[in-house]
Structure 1
C-alpha cells in the first residue's frame, strides 16, 4: 500500500463524528486535487478557531490523506487574541494535528483600512508559514455569505468586473496557492453541521461590531435580502461567476494588446486602440508594475494625458496607485514611490 492510499491516523473522537455539509464539500474538493498513485502533499489549514475554520479543520483532519498542519495568525489587535491562540492549540493537541502559530503586528496607520492591513499581513504570514511547513497549498474557510458580503462591498465602491467577481475559489499570493473549499456553503449550514457534531468554536467579539462595514452587511443587510430575495445567495454567486468569466476575457485581451503596444507601452501604439481597450491594457500593465491599477479618476486622467500626447515635448507625470506614471521618450514608464 503506497503513501497515497495509507490513511493518515485520525483521532478517535474525530472519526466517530457524523458527516456534515463541510465534510461533503471538502471531500469533493480533495478528490479534484488527488493524483492517482501519488502521495498527498502537506495541506495547511488557516485556523482561527471560529466556526468556519473549525469546520474546515475538522473536515481536513477526517478526509485529507496526507500530512496536515494548522496555521494560526495572532494579529495582536485585541486582548482576546491570546485566548483564541490557546483554544486553537488545545484543539489541535486533542486532534493530533501539528499546530503553528505566528504572532504579527497588524496595526494600521492613519488613513489605512484596518481590515485591509490585517488581511495583507495574514496572507503574507500564512504563505511564509506554509512554505516553512513544505505545504503545497493553504485552504481558507470563507463561505457563501462571505462571498456575498464581498460582492456587496464591491458594488458599494463602484467596482469593475474584477471586484464584482468577488473571491475566487483558487488564487496565488506571495508564492503560495490558496483555495476555498467551503465557498458554496452558507454560514448557517456550517454552524448547523458543527452543532450536530457537538463541536464548539470561538465567537470573535469584533464580529458584532457594526463599526465595520462588513459586519453591518452581515448583521443588518443580509437578513433583509433573505426576506426579499430568498434565493439571493445562489443568484448573487452566479452573477459573481459571470463577472469572473468576463474579467478573464478582459485579462486575455489585455495580454494580447500589451504584446502589441509593448511593455512599457508605446504611446503611439496606445493611441491606436479604442479608449476602452486603452483603459483595459493600462490597468493590466499598472497591476504588473505596482500591484494596483489606481482609482477610476487616476486612470481617466491618464487616458486624457495619453490622448493629448501629440508632441515630442509633451510631459506626462501622474500619481497612480502607490507610484507615478511618467513619459520616457515614446513610452510610458512606472516609477514606484514619491518623486
Structure 2
C-alpha cells in the first residue's frame, strides 16, 4: 500500500518533505527522493522541547547528506498558551516555521508543496481523540489530505497506509531512523490509544483503518457544506455579525455561523457550553439596554451597539 500511495502522489515539483528523523517521515523522504531525484528538499523543525532534539537534527543532517537531499532547519519554541494543547501549539509552530523557511531559504523557485508523513494509524488516533472530546464535524473529519497554509500547499499522501508498513519498508531498505522518547510517554493520551486501543480494534474490526477513513471523509464533506452555509449566512449578517440578523436565523444556523466567524476572524473556538450560553444571550438581546459579555474561546464576546464583537484582553494589553 505504501508504494501505491507514493505512485499516486502527484505534487508540484520541486517538493519539500517535513522530516523529523522518525520512521514515518524517513520512509516518506526516502521514497520521494527515489521517485524524484534532485527534486526533493527536506525541512526539519527543531522544537526545543526535549533534550534529544539536538540528536534528531544531527541524524537528519547525516541522512540528508547521504541521500543528496538539501536540508533546511527551522528552530521554534512551541510553548502553548493557556487553554491550548501542547500538541496544537507544536503543530501551529511547525507549520509557521515551514512557511518561514520557504520564504527565507528556498526562494522564488523553491518548493511550494510540502509532504507530511501522518499515516492511517495517526488518522484513526485523531478520530478517536475527537470522539473522546465530543467533537463536532470538524474534529471527526480529522486530518485533511491537502490544505494550504502560508502560501504553501501541504499534503498527507500516507493517510491510508498503516504505520507498521512504513517500518517494514524501512527495514527492507536497511534504513535507520530515530525514536522520539515522547512516543512512549503514557502522559499523552494518543500514546495510550496507539498501544492499547488500536490492537483491540485490529482484532475486532480488521478493516478499521479504511472504514474510519471513510467516516472521516463523510464528515469532511458535511463540514464543507456547513462551511458554505456559514459563509452565506455571514454575508447576510455582516462581519462582525449584526445581532438582529442572527436572530432571524434558526438556532442551528446561528451556531454554525458563529463558530465560523470566531474561527476565521479570531482563530478561536467556543466550547459547547459557551456557544449555548451565547445563543441564549443573543436571543435575549431584544432591547438596546441588554448587555452581553461572555467568555468565548480564548477571549470574550460582547455587544457593541447592534453588533457582536470579540476581543482577547491578553492581545489588546
TM-score relative to the length of structure 1:
0.87
Q: Structure 2 regions of 5+ residues with no counterpart?
A: none
Contact 1:322 1:337 in 2 (8 A): no
In the alignment, which residue of structure 1 is the partner of 2:268? 292
Larger C-alpha radius of gyration, 1 or 2? Answer: 1
Task: Supply the distance in 2 between the matched residues of 1:257 and 1:112 (Cα, whole angstroms).
Answer: 29
User: How big is each residue's C-alpha offset from its partner over 1:283-329, in whole Å with a ceiling of 9 and x where there is no partner?
Assistant: 11111221122211111111001100111111111121222211122
Which of the numbers 177, 198, 220 marks the counterpart of 2:174? 198
Task: Supply the distance in 1 between the matched residues of 2:296 and 2:258 (Cα, whole angstroms).
Answer: 11
Cα drift, residue 131 of structure 1:
2.8
Correspondence 1:26 to 2:11: no
Correspondence 1:270 to 2:270: no
Change (3 A) 1:285 1:113: closer
Correspondence 1:95 to 2:75: no
User: How big is each residue's C-alpha offset from its partner over 1:71-104, in whole Å with a ceiling of 9 and x where there is no partner?
Assistant: 0111122222111111110110011110111222
Change (3 A) 1:137 1:265: same
Contact 1:131 1:176 in 2 (8 A): no
Q: Structure 1 regions of 5+ residues with no counterpart?
A: 1-20, 34-39
Contact 2:147 2:154 in 1 (8 A): yes
TM-score relative to the length of structure 2:
0.93
Correspondence 1:84 to 2:56: yes
Cα drift, residue 124 of structure 1:
1.2
Which of the numbers 292, 308, 311 marks the counterpart of 1:332? 308
Task: Supply the distance in 2 between the matched residues of 1:209 and 1:107 (Cα, whole angstroms).
Answer: 18
Correspondence 1:165 to 2:165: no
User: How big is each residue's C-alpha offset from its partner over 1:38-71, in whole Å with a ceiling of 9 and x where there is no partner?
Assistant: xx53311100111110111011101136632110
Contact 2:15 2:114 in 1 (8 A): yes
Change (3 A) 1:112 1:285: closer
In the alignment, which residue of structure 1 is the partner of 2:185? 209
Correspondence 1:59 to 2:31: yes
Which of the numbers 158, 163, 184 marks the counterpart of 1:182? 158
Contact 1:41 1:66 in 2 (8 A): no
